[in-house]
Amino acid sequence: MRKVTETDLPGVGVRFDLETNSGRVLGVVVHQSGRRDLVIYDSRDVDRTSESVKLSEDEGHTLGEILGGSPVLERLDDAIHRLEDLVISWIKISSKSSLAGQTLAEASLRARTGAGVVALVTDSGSIPIPGGADRLEPGDTAVLVGMPSAVKAATRLLTRATSD
């Protein structure tokens, strides 16, 4: 297997580069918004791009499935990792949620469900360890941590209208 290099791009996302057996270098930039850029570097100068294709998050996942899938990059809103009895889950905040637009203090997710919001991912960047004044905006992603039942309860509150 060829070496894959990973480079953090602060404020943008992460870039992954792969040198093929034939010596060509391919790259994928995974933006914080979910968009992916597929990049083919110039064969004579790896610092120059010879081709670039912008893919939506869904198009990127479809291409990944066609190419055989990848355990390296999992679907952000479906990613759940288990560590003993803890669950970490990335949940996109629905505009229909009664919590949309509320601050973390107003939403009281930890008190209501037992799950904590350890990060918020927005179009403008990530907020690690958000405070009570940070808002749960529709379309943003909340990173939840807790027991499975707590995360499930918090997910319901963040993704569904209260009448559901």
Please tell me the distance from the alpha carbon of residue 87 to that of residue 125, in angstroms, as a whole number.
23
Provide Rg for the chain, Cα atoms. Answer: 18
Please tell me the distance from the alpha carbon of residue 80 to that of residue 88, in angstroms, as a whole number.
6
Q: For residue 157, what pLDDT is reported?
A: 94
Please tell me the distance from the alpha carbon of residue 140 to that of residue 102, in angstroms, as a whole number.
12
Q: Which residues contact 60 (CB under 8 A, 6 or more apart)?
A: 28, 30, 34, 35, 36
Mean pLDDT of the chain: 82
Confidence of residue 19 (pLDDT cuts 50, 70, 90): confident
Q: DSSP of the chain, one letter per residue?
A: ---EEEEEETTTEEEEEEE-TTS-EEEEEEETTS-EEEEEE-SS-TTSEEEEEEE-HHHHHHHHHHTT--SSS--GGG-EEEETTEEEEEEEPPTTSTTTT-BHHHHTHHHHHS-EEEEEEETTEEEES--TT-B--TT-EEEEEE-HHHHHHHHHHHHS-TT-
Q: Is the pLDDT of residue 140 over 50?
A: yes
Per-domain residue ranges for the chain?
Answer: 3-67, 71-159
Q: How is domain 71-159 classified at the CATH fold level?
A: Alpha-Beta Plaits (3.30.70)
User: Tens digit of pLDDT for each residue in 93-131?
Assistant: 999 999 999 999 999 999 999 999 999 998 888 898 999
User: Tens digit of pLDDT for each residue in 23-82?
Assistant: 888 888 888 788 888 998 888 877 788 888 998 878 877 887 777 654 444 443 344 444
